[in-house]
Structure formats: C-alpha cells, structure tokens
Amino acid sequence: MTDINSLIERLRKWAESPVPSIVIEVREALKYQEKQIESKNSKIERFMNEISMLKQECDEQCRLNGMGAQREARLLAKLEEEKKKMEKIKALAP
C-alpha cells in the first residue's frame, strides 16, 4: 500500500506543480496547427463550391449547345427539303 500512497503523493505534487514550459509550447504548437488546418479546410470548401458552380455552368452550356445543335439539324433538314423542291421546280421548267 505504501507504494500506491507514494505514487498518489507524487502525482498530487506533479499536478500541483507549475506546467512545464514544454507543455505550454506543445499546446501553442497544437493551437497553431489547428488554425492552419481550419484555414486549409476553409480554402478547400471554397474551392469545392467554386468547382460545383463551374460544373453547373458547364452543364448549362452543354444544354444550350445541344439545343443549338438540334435547331441547326432542323434547319439543315428544312434546307434539304427546299433544295429538293427547287430541283423539282427546275425540272418542270422548260
């Protein structure tokens, strides 16, 4: 039992003693690293939001380009029809 009592007494003295400077330095270093990580996480979040917005813009541009391509295809088909009509008219003319 005396070993446990002496251990408890040593722990009590250690707990009551001033915090060693190395512990303070480690705490400060950890706080600094936490701030750095928070800053980087914030930047990552901003980049992810920007990427999301750019993806949405690209999707919209693709949609609009597709609409333009459909319109162009319809116009080309109509042009071909008109050319065929003109050929028929030319064939009928003397």
Q: How far is CA 67 from CA 16, 21, 64, 89, in A?
A: 76, 69, 5, 33
In a domain, 68, yes or no: yes
Within-domain flag for 5: no
Average pLDDT over residues 7-33: 78
- Structural domain contains residue 12: no
Has residue 10 been placed in a domain?
no
Spatial separation of the C-alpha atoms in residues 75 and 67, rounded to whole Å? 12
**Structural domain count, the chain:** 1
Average of pLDDT values for 63-80? Answer: 90
Q: What is the mean pLDDT of residues 55-82?
A: 91
Residue 63 lies inside a defined structural domain of this protein: yes
Q: What is the dihedral of CA 23, 27, 32, 34, to 10 degrees?
A: 140
Cα–Cα distance for residue pair 9/88, rounded to 1 Å: 113
Domain membership of residue 70 as a residue range:
19-92
